Amino acid sequence: MSQPPPPPNQPPSGGFGAPQGPDSEEPSANQPPQPPQAPPPAGAPAPPPGPPPQAPPGGPQAPPPAGGFGAPQQPPPGGYGYPQQPPPPAGYGYPQGGYGYPQQAPPGALGYPTPPPGGKPGGGGSNKLIAIIASAVAVVLIAGVAVFFVTRDDDGSDESKGDDKGSSQGASGEGDRKGNVKAKEIVSLDAPEVKTVTSVVGGWATDKVFAKSSVNEVVGFSLPDGEEKWRLDLKGGVCAASNEKTSDGKVAAIVQETVSSSAKCTRMVVIDLNAGKLVWDKDLPGSTTTSAENVAISGDTVAAAWIGGSVAYSISSGNELWSGKPSNCRDTGYAGGDELAVVVECGSFSSSQITVQKLDPKTGKATMKFKAPKGVQTARIASTKPLTLVVGAGTSLPTDVMTVDDNGKLKAKVTIGKRYNKPCSTEVNSCHTMAVGKDAFYLSTTEHAGSSDSGRTNEVMAFDWATGKAEWKASAGEKRTIVPIKTEGDDVIAYKLPAYSVGGEIVKLDAAQGKETVQLKMPVSDVGKGEQAISIAPYSARTPIIYENNRLFLLEKLISERRDHDRDKRKLAVGFAAD
C-alpha cells in the first residue's frame, strides 16, 4: 500500500529534481489485479477522502487573487518592448500583461536547481472547478514567501537578445508550401439542440476519416471529401475522450451508463475510426462518478482515472492489465503518446505532494518518478517524451513549465507569469496551445499592441528544452494572433487565428530560426460561421486543435441550450482541406 509523503517542510532526499528511482515513496495508485494486496495493519489511520467533486469539463478557470500569485510582478524598464495590454474578455480567468522572455527563478529558490551548463542541442530544437476555487482561496492563506519564489518573475533579463527571427516575415513568412495552400471548408457539423450543458468531448482524424462525438453518438466523415460516412450509437454521453489514437486508428472514450443527462460515467469504449464500429464496451470497475474523467492511449494500452480508482486495458484484446484504488496516493490523470505517464497526488488536497511517473503500460509499474518541488499544487503533462510538465505552484492555474530527463531530474523551468498564455486547461492532458519537440518547447506570448494603433498581435517563443533558454520568437504579424499546436519532425506547427477580413492559417516554423512557411490558408468567415463558429482564443483553447495530413479540424467540447438571440446554428466541429 502507499506510504505517506515526507513531512511538508522537508525536501526529498537529494534535493528537488534529484533522480527518483522506481522505489521512491509515492507509488502509482495502480496495482496489478493479481495478487491481491494485504489489508493495512490494524490501527492504521483511515485514508483521507478523495479529491472534491469535479465540474463539467472545459469550464472557466477561477481568476487568481488580486495582484497575481505572490508578490506583484513588475516588468523591467521598457516593458519588454511592448505596451501593456487591456485584460481579455471576462470569464477566462487568465492573468494578463507583460511580454517578452522567460525569467528563471533565483538559484536554489525553493529547491529549484540552477540548470546545468550546456550549449544548445544540435538541430534546434484533474482538478476541476471546485478544486480550482478551493486552491485560489488556499493561495491567500499559505505562506506568501513560498509562492513568491516559485512563481515570481526576476530581473527581466532578455535571454534571446531581442532576436525576433520570425517577425520579418509577418503574415506571409518565407512563402507558401509547395502545392496549393488555399483551403475550403469540408466539414460543418451542426450541434443538436439540448436543454442543459452537455459534454461532447472528443474528436480525431486519420488519413481516411474525421470523427466527432455528439450527444450519445460519434459521427464519422470520409476524407478528403468530408461526406458523412457513419454514425455510431454509444447509448450514453461522452464524459472523456483520448487525445491519442492507435497506429491503426482506434480511440477510447469514457461513456455514461445510459442516455440520461444525470447518468454516471461507468463505461469505457474503444472505437475503430476507419470502420466506424465499436471494438469493445466495458464497465469501469467501481466507477460511480457523474463528471468527466481522464483517458489516454499509449501503444496497445488504454488507461483511465476517475475519483475512486483507475484501470488499464489492452486495446487489442480488451483484457484488464492493471487497476488501482486510491489510498493515501491516487492517480489523478494519465497522458499517452510515445510513453504513458501519470500524475500521482499523495496526502490531502490542501497539503498534497505531486509526483509524475512514467509507467510500464503493460503492468502499471513506475519506471521513472519525478517528485515536484514543494509548493506545486497541480501538474499537467504537455509531453510524455520528452517529459514536459506545466505546473501550478501555489495555485491550480499554470505557473511554470518544467522539463524532466529520463532519470527523473529537473532540467529546466520557465515561469509563465504574465508574459505567456496559459497553455493548458484543468485536465492532466489538456495542454492544447503549446508544442514540445525533442530539443525545444514552444509557448505563445500574451497579446499586445502592434505597430498600428488598431491592431493587436503576439508571438510564438521557442525555448531550449534542456536549459529553458529562449532561442527565438516568431511574430504572428500585424493584427494577427498565433498559438503553437504540435511539432512535425524538428519544426513546430502553429495556428494563426482568423481575424477581421482574413481567415486563419496553419504555418510551419523551422526549428532553427522560426522562419515561417504557410501550410494552409482558410477562407474568410463571418462571426459565428466557419472557423469563427468555434470558440478559440490564444488564452483559451479547451480542446485540441487537430492538424493532420494538411487538414485542420476545430472542435467544441460543451454545448448548451440555444438562446433566442442566437442567429446561427451552433457547430460541433468544422474542418478544412486544400481546395
For the segment 256-280, the average pLDDT, to the nearest whole number, is: 95
pTM: 0.74
How would residue 58 be classed by pLDDT, with cut points 50, 70 and 90?
very low
pLDDT top residue among 357 and 291: 357
| pLDDT tens digits for range 362-380 | 999 999 999 999 999 999 9
Q: Which residue has the higher pLDDT, 274 or 11?
A: 274
Span 298-344, pLDDT tens digits: 999 999 999 889 999 999 999 999 998 878 899 999 999 999 999 99
pLDDT in the model for residue 454 = 67
Residue 406 domain-assigned (yes or no): yes
Beta bridge partners of 185: 576
Please indicate, yes or no, if residue 31 is contained in any of the structural domains. no
Assess if residue 5 is contained within a domain. no
What pLDDT is attached to residue 564?
57
Q: What pLDDT does 462 receive?
A: 98
- At residue 288, the pLDDT reads 75
* Domain CATH code at residue 574: 2.130.10.10
Rounded to an integer, the average pLDDT of 164-189 is 70
Amino acid 517: pLDDT: 97
Give the pLDDT of residue 563.
67
Which helix (H) or strand (E) is 334 found in, with range? strand 329-335
**What is the extent of the structural domain holding 121?**
79-578
For residue 158, the model assigns a pLDDT of: 38
What is the pLDDT averaged over residues 89-101?
34
> How far is it, in rounded angstroms, from Cα 205 to Cα 482?
22
**Which of 324-328, 408-412, 461-465, 526-530 has the least mean pLDDT?**
324-328
Per-residue pLDDT at 418 exceeds 60: yes
Is 45 part of a structural domain of the chain? no
Q: Which segment of 39-53, 140-154, 427-441 scores lowest on mean pLDDT?
A: 140-154
Q: Which of 53-57, 262-266, 471-475 has the lowest mean pLDDT?
A: 53-57
Residue 47 lies inside a defined structural domain of this protein: no
**How many structural domains compose the chain?**
1
- 251 in a structural domain: yes
pLDDT grade for 567, boundaries at 50, 70 and 90? low
Residue 264 pLDDT: 92
- Kindly give, in sequence order, each residue whose CB lies less than 8 Å from that of residue 203, ignoring residues fewer than 6 positions away: 210, 211, 212, 213, 241, 543, 544, 546, 553, 555, 573
Give the rounded percent of residues in the chain with a pLDDT score beyond 70: 68
Let me know if residue 49 belongs to a domain.
Answer: no
- Residue 39 is placed in which grid cell? 489489508
Cis peptide before 224 (omega within 30 of 0): yes
With 0-12 / 13-18 / 19 or more C-beta atoms within 10 angstroms meaning exposed / middle / buried, residue 550 is middle
What are phi and psi for residue 140, nearest 5 degrees? -70, -30
Q: What is the model's pLDDT at position 79?
A: 34
Q: Which of 49-58, 121-130, 513-522 has the lowest mean pLDDT?
A: 121-130
Residue 351 — pLDDT band, cuts 50, 70, 90?
A: confident
Rounded mean pLDDT, 123-128: 35
User: SS3 for 482?
Assistant: strand
Instruction: Give the per-residue pLDDT at 121.
Output: 35
- Strand ordering across the sheet containing 203-205: 203-205, 209-214, 217-222, 228-233
171, part of any domain:
yes
- pLDDT surpassing 70 at residue 570: yes
What's the mean pLDDT when you consider all of the chain? Answer: 77
- Taking 90 as the threshold, does the pLDDT of residue 52 lie above it? no
Is the predicted pLDDT of residue 405 greater than 60, yes or no? yes
DSSP-derived secondary structure for 154-195: -S---TTTT--TTGGGTTTTT-BPSS--BEEEEEEEEPPP-S
